[in-house]
Amino acid sequence: MQNRLSVAVIGVGHLGKEHARILGSMPDVELVGVVDPNHVQADAVAARTGTMAYSSARPLIGRIQAAVIATPTAYHHDSACELLANGISLLVEKPLTSNVAQGIDLVSLAEKHDAILQVGHIERFNPAYEELRRRPLIPQYIRCERHGGFTGRSMDVGVVFDVMIHDLDLILDLVGRPVDRVEAMGAAVLGGNEDMAQARVYFEGGCIADLTACRVSPEPARSMRVWGGEGYASVDFATRKVTLMQPSELLRSGRIDSRRLTPDVIGLLKAELFGRFVETFTVDCSGHHSADQLTRELYDFVSSVREKRQPRVTGRAGLAALTLASQIVQTIHKTDLQSTGQLFPSRSASEAA
Ligand SMILES: NC(=O)c1ccc[n+]([C@@H]2O[C@H](COP(=O)([O-])OP(=O)(O)OC[C@H]3O[C@@H](n4cnc5c(N)ncnc54)[C@H](O)[C@@H]3O)[C@@H](O)[C@H]2O)c1
């Protein structure tokens, strides 16, 4: 077997411990160590994955070729700089950094030191998104919804950097055109950063995308709908199903004129609109790959470091998503929904009990 790629995971909390578990089980990878200032966490993950625990990455420089950064976003830049400057390739969790200047810094450091820089936009590896990407649909209008329950994690950033950024990366990838301008609004529910946000992104060339994101939602949702001249596609990221619709040959030929419908044709359309007139089919992508998304993202990272090729989600792609997220947050700050009073009287403690 070829030499094993020596890697480390920096930050082994909720997500980093999963990176460590997967990397520790890859036959062509040697997990040299895990790094976390929380000793209890570092020791527990190191014991489970059969590696060494460290409180800083410095002792690993010179001993690793690559690393995954899964610290809170506020520490991505500091953690990544020294490693990139030593030519160590990185997979940095999303969002790339806390601000655009730091993101530019990491991209230029990686290029200067010939290191691979990948960003953890994991939805690019969702088989339902991959199915959509294979379809010849040119988006003219996109609607994304990403709502989740409160987790208590990633509170160092708002919902745009934490949650909406997944969809920002996807729409940039899908549309492939520069952004012209954005409109946005948002609100903080728990105080601090925005917990819900709404944005409209106008692309050069005319495509428009509407996005909503919420991290304090009672009803989870992760979906994208895309309209184009060729038809319509709807992606459910959770069930990994894609529904595609396109006008049938009969409609495309113009033989039916919706302005001059006879009662018979109206009846027929009502009964058979979806199927005979609008062709509809659903692709269940849940069984498309034996490996999960995180494993496939890590395989892409490991092979791009080995083969010295660009990964699917480059540092520049991560920077583009971050730049758009930052533009949206700045717009939100100008149009913040301010609390002006109460909708109804809060219940007293005794009533609530
Ligand atoms: N791709 C995704 O879908 C996805 C999902 C969840 C989280 N994330 C991202 O992953 C990152 C981590 O999120 P999380 O939910 O695992 O957070 P977490 O708080 O559960 O874990 C972060 C860990 O990093 C450690 N840490 C703090 N400072 C450090 C430092 N300087 N060096 C090394 N370790 C340090 C903490 O002790 C903690 O164990 C965030 O950037 C988040 O946005 C991405």
Q: How many C-beta atoms lie closer than 10 Å to residue 44's C-beta?
A: 16
The verdict on residue 351 lying in a domain is: no
Q: Are residues 258 and 296 in the same domain?
A: no
pLDDT digits (tens, 9 = 90+) for 69-111: 999 999 999 999 999 999 999 999 999 999 999 999 999 999 9
What pLDDT does 26 receive?
A: 97
For the residues 197-216, what does the mean pLDDT come to?
Answer: 98
Domain that holds residue 248: 124-290+327-335
What pLDDT does 259 receive?
A: 87
Residue 154 Cβ inside 6 Å of ligand 1? The answer reads yes
For the residues 47-66, what does the mean pLDDT come to?
Answer: 97
What pLDDT does 111 receive?
A: 98
Give the model's confidence band at 158: pLDDT under 50 very low, under 70 low, under 90 confident, else very high.
Answer: very high
Coil/strand/helix, residue 80:
helix
pLDDT at residue 208 tops 70: yes
Q: Are residues 195 and 249 in the same domain?
A: yes
Q: Which of 75, 77, 93 to mutate to test the pocket of ligand 1 (most atoms within 8 A of CB)?
A: 93
The CATH code of the domain that includes 213 is 3.30.360.10
Residue 20 Cβ inside 6 Å of ligand 1? The answer reads no
> Which of 135-139, 161-165, 273-277, 278-282 is predicted least confidently?
273-277
Residue nearest to atom 6 of ligand 1 (CA): 15
Residue 72 Cβ inside 6 Å of ligand 1? The answer reads yes
> Which of 100-109, 162-171, 325-334, 337-346 is predicted least confidently?
337-346
- For 8, phi then psi, to 5°, come to -140, 160
The verdict on residue 350 lying in a domain is: no
pLDDT at residue 344 tops 70: yes
Q: What are the helix (H) ranges across 163-232?
A: 165-175
Q: Are residues 237 and 135 in the same domain?
A: yes
Q: Which two tokens stand for residue 313?
A: 């989600």
Q: How many C-beta atoms lie closer than 10 Å to residue 167's C-beta?
A: 28
pLDDT at residue 290 tops 90: no
Q: Are residues 94 and 171 in the same domain?
A: no
The verdict on residue 76 lying in a domain is: yes
Q: Are residues 29 and 82 in the same domain?
A: yes
Q: Are residues 95 and 203 in the same domain?
A: no
Residue 150 Cβ inside 6 Å of ligand 1? The answer reads no
Residue 14 Cβ inside 6 Å of ligand 1? The answer reads yes
> Which of 116-120, 272-276, 324-328 is predicted least confidently?
272-276
Residue nearest to atom 39 of ligand 1 (CA): 13
Ramachandran area for residue 322 (φ above 0: left; ψ -120 to 50: alpha; else beta): alpha
Residue 10 Cβ inside 6 Å of ligand 1? The answer reads yes
| pTM tops 0.85 | yes
Residue 70 Cβ inside 6 Å of ligand 1? The answer reads yes
Q: Are residues 11 and 89 in the same domain?
A: yes
What pLDDT does 40 receive?
A: 98
The answer to whether 67 and 83 are in contact (CB under 8 A) is: yes
The verdict on residue 208 lying in a domain is: yes
To the nearest whole number, what is the mean pLDDT of the chain?
A: 94
% of the chain at pLDDT higher than 90: 81
- Cβ neighbours for 223, distance < 8 A, ≥ 6 positions apart: 144, 145, 146, 234, 235, 236, 237
pLDDT at residue 346 tops 90: no
pLDDT at residue 175 tops 90: yes
What pLDDT does 275 receive?
A: 85
Q: Are residues 73 and 160 in the same domain?
A: no
The verdict on residue 345 lying in a domain is: no
What pLDDT does 149 receive?
A: 94
Residue nearest to atom 21 of ligand 1 (CA): 13
pLDDT at residue 342 tops 90: no
For the chain, the domain total comes to 2
Residue nearest to atom 29 of ligand 1 (CA): 71
Q: Which of 154, 159, 294 to mutate to test the pocket of ligand 1 (most atoms within 8 A of CB)?
A: 154
Q: Are residues 296 and 186 in the same domain?
A: no
Q: Are residues 147 and 184 in the same domain?
A: yes
pLDDT at residue 45 tops 80: yes
CA 178 distance to own-chain centroid = 19
Q: Are residues 146 and 286 in the same domain?
A: yes
Q: Which of 18, 71, 75 to mutate to test the pocket of ligand 1 (most atoms within 8 A of CB)?
A: 71
C-alpha 162 to ligand 1 mean position (Å): 11
The verdict on residue 341 lying in a domain is: no
The CATH code of the domain that includes 13 is 3.40.50.720
The verdict on residue 342 lying in a domain is: no
> Which of 182-186, 197-201, 287-291 is predicted least confidently?
287-291
Residue 122 Cβ inside 6 Å of ligand 1? The answer reads yes
Give the model's confidence band at 348: pLDDT under 50 very low, under 70 low, under 90 confident, else very high.
Answer: low
Atom of ligand 1 lying closest to residue 166 CA: 3
pLDDT digits (tens, 9 = 90+) for 267-279: 989 999 988 889 9
The verdict on residue 348 lying in a domain is: no
- For 226, phi then psi, to 5°, come to -130, 125
Q: Are residues 114 and 187 in the same domain?
A: no
What pLDDT does 353 receive?
A: 55
